[in-house]
């Protein structure tokens, strides 16, 4: 009797231990190896920006148990994968001093843009965002266009000089991403859902802004410096003609990126108490 109780107890302890181990391993796997989870198990394309969504600190701390797998999953790791999503959000800043150096390849940048377009949300999944990426000479050409169209609009030589200087600062970068919205999609939604007709243009702006933010943050997590400009609508037509962009698309913003040639300025913050309000915690 005594013996049987003993072995029952032993079996129970063993079972608990095995279940516990399995659970631990599973949750570790799910939480710490999301890239692997998505790409290898479900055959889903792994966005480079997914590094933004995955916390490598977690990977590092569990690397003893799954090193070969995580190594493989992160073989295309770049600087972005060294940061957690919130770290990348916190370190994103405006860099005005940029140069023509690129910390990652053009293909990787293109992959970030592709993944942003595929995975960033849009209202009613409208997918109204359009991105045009200009590298090197094409980037230079864009900023030459801006100077060209802006000059005749400026009232004084003084302003021509200061604006040219400012724009040459953007031209000193490596590339520019032009963010457009396709108004055909917006009007389509307005017709389909008249109840929200007056809201769709605003939601289209939100959609564009989310794309701008993700690429800004992702590129800086990769080591670029970026700043966001708005030389629309004066440059739209010239750009649309040059790069065969449909004339009806609306240019919303230009994200300039390049190697970091300086530090961002100080950022002042209005007290959180005036900006965040929590109830029911
Ligand atoms: C999914 O990945 C497995 C293992 O790499 C592969 O054998 C299979 O063909 C893939 N399936 C699809 C649909 O890509
Ligand atoms: C981005 O998507 C386009 C369109 O599918 C494709 O041609 C291109 O190869 C993709 N770029 C990368 C780097 O995956």
CATH number of 92-260: 3.40.109.10
* Distance separating alpha carbons of residues 271 and 255, to the nearest angstrom: 28
Q: Is the peptide bond before 233 cis (omega within 30 degrees of 0)?
A: yes
DSSP 8-state code for residue 37: I
| Residue closest by Cα to atom 3 of ligand 2 | 114
Taking the domains of the chain in order of start, what are their residue ranges? 2-82, 92-260
Q: In sequence order, which ranges of the chain are alpha helices (DSSP H)?
A: 2-32, 34-36, 50-53, 56-61, 63-73, 85-91, 106-119, 136-150, 157-171, 183-192, 200-221, 236-242
Ligand 2 atom at shortest distance from the alpha carbon of 107: 13
Residue 2: its pLDDT value, please?
Answer: 59
For the chain (281 residues), the mean pLDDT of every run of 10, in chain order, is 62 54 46 39 38 39 37 44 86 97 98 98 97 98 97 96 97 98 97 96 98 98 97 96 97 98 95 98 97
Residue 195: its pLDDT value, please?
Answer: 95
Residue 67: its pLDDT value, please?
Answer: 38
DSSP 8-state code for residue 42: S
| Residue closest by Cα to atom 12 of ligand 2 | 111
Q: How far is the CA of 37 from the centre of ligand 2 (A)?
A: 23
| Residue closest by Cα to atom 4 of ligand 2 | 114
| Residue closest by Cα to atom 2 of ligand 2 | 114
* Distance separating alpha carbons of residues 27 and 21, to the nearest angstrom: 10
Is residue 135 a contact partner of residue 175, using CB atoms and an 8 Å limit? yes
Residue 17: its pLDDT value, please?
Answer: 54
Q: How far is the CA of 45 from the centre of ligand 1 (A)?
A: 12
Using a 6 Å cutoff on CB, does residue 107 contact ligand 2?
Answer: yes
């Amino acid at each position: 009797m005594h013996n049987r109780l003993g072995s029952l107890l032993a079996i129970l302890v063993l079972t608990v231990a095995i279940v516990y181990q399995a659970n631990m391993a599973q949750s570790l796997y799910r939480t710490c190896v999301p890239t692997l989870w998505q790409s290898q198990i479900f055959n889903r394309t792994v966005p480079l920006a997914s590094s933004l969504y995955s916390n490598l600190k977690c990977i590092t701390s569990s690397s003893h148990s799954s090193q070969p797998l995580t190594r493989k999953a992160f073989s295309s790791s770049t600087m972005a994968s060294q940061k957690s999503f919130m770290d990348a959000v916190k370190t994103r800043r405006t860099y005005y001093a940029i140069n023509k150096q690129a910390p990652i390849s053009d293909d990787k940048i293109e992959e970030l843009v592709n993944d942003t377009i595929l995975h960033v949300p849009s209202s009613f999944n409208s997918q109204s965002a359009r991105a045009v990426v200009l590298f090197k000479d094409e980037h230079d050409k864009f900023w030459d266009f801006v100077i060209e169209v802006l000059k005749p609009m400026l009232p004084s030589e003084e302003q021509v000089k200061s604006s040219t200087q400012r724009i040459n600062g953007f031209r000193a970068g490596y590339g520019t991403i032009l963010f457009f919205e396709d108004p055909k999609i917006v009007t389509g939604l307005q017709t389909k859902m008249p109840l929200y007709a007056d809201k769709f243009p605003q939601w289209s702006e939100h959609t564009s802004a989310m794309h701008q933010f993700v690429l800004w943050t992702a590129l800086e997590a990769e080591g670029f410096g970026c700043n966001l400009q708005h030389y629309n609508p004066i440059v739209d037509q010239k750009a649309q003609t040059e790069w065969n962009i449909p004339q009806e698309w609306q240019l919303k913003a230009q994200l300039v990126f390049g190697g970091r040639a300086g530090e961002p300025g100080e950022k002042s913050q209005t007290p959180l108490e005036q900006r965040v309000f929590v109830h029911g915690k």
